[in-house]
């Protein structure tokens, strides 16, 4: 069964779940695992310059021999920056060569703190040109806070970011700065692309979400990770990025999105259970510099 898609504000669509090549695959040859994920049914791959493994993803795509249009490729600029205003384009051109494709489906600015020599508004103009030139079908941002999105939106962009890829789960959504951010995103139909959706299971277990998620999982014949993946998509109205080295877990993740949705009451119950604590694992330095 095909992976469901959601509509974005630019008229394009995106699969509801992507296989991530960061975290455990960071800086490692990911060819075999990407091939395995594609064989399992994943049709969306999340890559980034900083993951330092784009060439191995390209090797997997070459060996896979599927049609370009049958896989959704997302990538992100950048890591250490030279300060050049058009660096996002230069990086993308290199990654396209490594991936062996002419375009990516989505291209993101990985962090608002990458380039303090060029304003976010000017960085976004480069992203707009990348989209206009067909190097990316859609463009967005990652780890942007409310104030970062406001800077882009205040510049009267011709293209509004399609997504903001952020850490998002029941122990984080209710933080005041995340609440303000997601409110602004909703106003502009900018979708959440969630990473770290399984933090309550694998990084912060033992909290108040556990019992609620376990009860709901039992009621639906699902696993707790499947419930949390569905929660992230349904509560946030967006998509998720996750990964695994094991075939069983990859298939479990995909199966979450062919099962019937959680009820609105169940989604809210999980959200309410998460209000008891705040936990953040990724990009802490960005959020430490944000308004509380």
pLDDT-derived band at 196 (thresholds 50, 70, 90) equals very high
Annotated binding site: 110
Distance, CA of 262 to CA of 278 (rounded, Å): 23
Angle between helices 224-236 and 264-274 (to 10 degrees): 100
pLDDT digits (tens, 9 = 90+) for 17-59: 999 999 888 889 999 999 999 999 999 999 999 999 999 999 9
Q: What is the pLDDT of residues 65-82, one digit of tens each?
A: 899 999 999 999 987 677
Burial of 255 (0-12, 13-18, 19+ CB in 10 A): middle
2 token code pair: 């095909």
pLDDT digits (tens, 9 = 90+) for 14-28: 999 999 999 888 889
Residue 231's pLDDT band, with cuts at 50, 70 and 90, is very high
Q: In angstroms, rounded to a whole number, what is the distance separating the alpha carbons of residues 23 and 153?
A: 30
Residue 80: per-residue pLDDT: 63
Q: What is the C-alpha to C-alpha distance for residues 223 and 160, in angstroms, rounded to an integer?
A: 36
54 C-beta neighbours (distance < 10 Å), count: 21
- If pLDDT is split at 50, 70 and 90, which confidence band does 156 have? very high
Known binding-site residues for substrate equal 110
Q: In this predicted structure, what is the pLDDT of residue 278? A: 85
Of residues 148, 133, 80, the one with CA closest to residue 287 = 148
From CA 292, how far away is CA 289, in angstroms rounded?
Answer: 9
Q: What is the pLDDT of residue 266?
A: 98
Which of 198, 171, 193, 192 is closest to 253 using CA atoms? 198
Model confidence pLDDT, tens digit, residues 83-138 = 788 899 999 999 999 999 999 999 999 999 887 788 999 999 999 999 999 999 99
The residue ranges of every structural domain in the chain are 15-288
Q: Is the pLDDT at 290 greater than 70, yes or no? A: no
Q: What is the CA radius of gyration of the chain?
A: 18
List active site positions.
51
Give the CATH H-level superfamily of domain 15-288.
NADP-dependent oxidoreductase domain (3.20.20.100)
């Amino acid at each position: 069964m095909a992976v469901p898609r959601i509509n974005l504000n630019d008229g394009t669509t995106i699969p509801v779940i992507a296989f991530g090549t960061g975290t455990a695959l960071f800086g490692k040859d990911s060819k075999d695992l990407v091939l395995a994920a594609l064989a399992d049914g994943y049709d969306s791959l999340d890559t980034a310059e900083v993951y330092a493994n784009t060439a191995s993803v390209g090797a997997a795509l070459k060996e896979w021999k599927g049609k370009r249009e049958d896989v959704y490729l997302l990538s992100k600029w950048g890591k250490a920056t030279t300060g050049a205003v058009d660096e996002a384009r230069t990086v993308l051109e290199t990654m396209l060569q490594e991936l062996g494709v002419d375009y990516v489906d989505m291209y993101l600015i990985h962090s608002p703190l990458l380039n303090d020599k060029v304003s976010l508004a000017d960085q976004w103009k480069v992203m707009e040109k990348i989209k206009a030139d067909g190097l990316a079908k859609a463009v967005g941002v990652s780890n942007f806070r409310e104030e970062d999105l406001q800077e882009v939106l205040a510049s009267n962009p011709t293209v509004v970011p399609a997504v903001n890829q952020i850490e998002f789960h029941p122990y984080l959504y209710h933080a005041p700065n995340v609440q303000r951010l997601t409110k602004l995103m909703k106003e502009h139909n900018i979708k959440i692309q969630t990473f770290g959706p399984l933090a309550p299971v694998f990084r912060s277990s033992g909290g108040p979400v556990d019992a609620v998620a376990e009860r709901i999982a039992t009621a639906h014949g699902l696993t707790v990770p499947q419930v949390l993946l569905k929660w992230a998509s349904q509560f946030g109205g967006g998509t998720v990025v996750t990964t695994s080295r094991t075939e069983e877990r990859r298939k479990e993740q995909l199966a979450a999105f062919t099962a019937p949705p959680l009820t609105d009451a169940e989604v809210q119950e999980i959200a309410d259970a998460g209000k008891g604590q705040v936990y953040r694992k990724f990009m802490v330095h960005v959020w430490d510099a944000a308004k509380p």
